[in-house]
Homo-oligomer: A and B are copies of this chain.
């Protein structure tokens, strides 16, 4: 099997590693592999998820963990927390899996006033939070360019873009990002219907949708769901829909039921060194090095401590 094991490069999705080794260094590494950079990381390079900004989605295939981004979508995240505390999502369904695009869940009866699940204290309409003032947000710049935006990089662990002329910054539609389904009107979303990006980043959706977070664990469970055969990947028959068993805010779960996952900080020399390992691969298999890396191709590593 060794021949095949080496056939197509190294794992670039979620990486789980032990704690920082002795003799680790903080300088950006030249000539290192990603594995080496992560092995040399320090405890301070990692952060825990904030249970009050983490969403746990349990369904038949397993658990999906989403980190929320209140800094970029304060009103939507606040509304989602109201829905979450009411256990609004329990028993709703994955309604749509559109290949190379999105998986989406919500209330299948949302359009039927008599059958739709009540929103309780939550709002049915939240003004679009498509971008934010640059001044409010931290930013780590990726200097390799971008087709869609003047600048790209990371902010608090999320991939972002910026337009300094307009003074605006926004979350970007990379693989695993979570967005708010909406109707044609900018304020027609609420956070009750959510989608997750799968496939090649649909960056044309940037600034058209409120992004509210990112899947930090379990993306492979969503990505492997059967594609819907209806228009836009909707499941055509109700029995094809996939039920959500329980969806909870982390702070509502007993401590023992929360994940202890840690995420690599994006504002550290270790992350800068990791970017360099993605620009120029020093793994033995590579014959040619790209010299650059695209925003959505930089992994955001996690680990179980």
* A175 and B100 in contact, given A111-B1, A200-B201, A208-B288 (Cβ under 8 angstroms): yes
Contact A3 B111 (CB under 8 A): yes
Whether A220 sits at the interface, judged by CB under 8 Å, is yes
The yes or no answer to A76 lying at the interface (CB within 8 A) is no
Q: Which of A80-88, A133-141, A182-190 lies at the interface?
A: A182-190
Q: Is A219 an interface residue (CB 8 A)?
A: yes
The segment from A248-256, A260-268, A292-300 that touches chain B is A292-300
Q: Which A residues fall within an 8 A CB radius of B?
A: 1-13, 95-102, 104, 106, 108, 110-111, 128, 130, 144-148, 174-176, 179, 181-184, 186, 188, 193, 195, 198-209, 219-220, 223-227, 231-234, 278, 281, 284-290, 292-294, 296-297
Q: Shortest distance in angstroms between A108's beta carbon and chain B's nearest beta carbon? A: 8
Number of copies of this kind of chain in the complex: 2
- Of B145, B184, B200, B226, which contacts A199 at CB under 8 A? B200
The answer to whether A7 touches B203 (Cβ under 8 A) is no
Q: Are A3 and B183 in contact (CB under 8 A)?
A: yes
CB atoms of A181 and B147 under 8 A apart: no
CB distance from A175 to the nearest CB of B (A): 5
- Other-chain residue from B99, B203, B204 in contact with A220 (beta carbon distance below 8 A): B99
Q: Would A4 and B193 count as touching, CB distance under 8 A?
A: yes
Sample 15 A-B pairs with CB under 8 A, ordered by A number. A1-B108, A4-B104, A4-B106, A8-B205, A8-B232, A13-B100, A99-B223, A100-B176, A145-B145, A147-B293, A199-B200, A204-B278, A208-B285, A208-B287, A223-B227
Contact B10 A232 (CB under 8 A): yes
CB distance from A266 to the nearest CB of B (A): 18
Known: A7-B104, A101-B12. A147 touches B183 (CB 8 A): no
Among candidates B179, B284, B293, residue contacting A184 with C-beta atoms closer than 8 Å = B284
Residues of B with C-beta under 8 A to A104: 4, 7-8
Residue contact A110 to B4, C-beta cutoff 8 Å: yes
Residues of B contacting A148 with CB < 8 Å? Answer: 290, 292, 294
Set of chain B residues within 8 Å of A293, measured between Cβ atoms:
147, 204
Q: A184-B285, A223-B227 given; name 4 further pairs at CB < 8 Å.
A: A1-B234, A3-B111, A8-B209, A148-B290
Given contacts A11-B232, A232-B10, contact A219 B278 (CB under 8 A): no
Partner of A227, one of B208, B220, B231: B220
CB-based nearest B residue for A109: B1
Question: Distance in Å from the Cβ of A236 to the closest Cβ of chain B?
Answer: 11
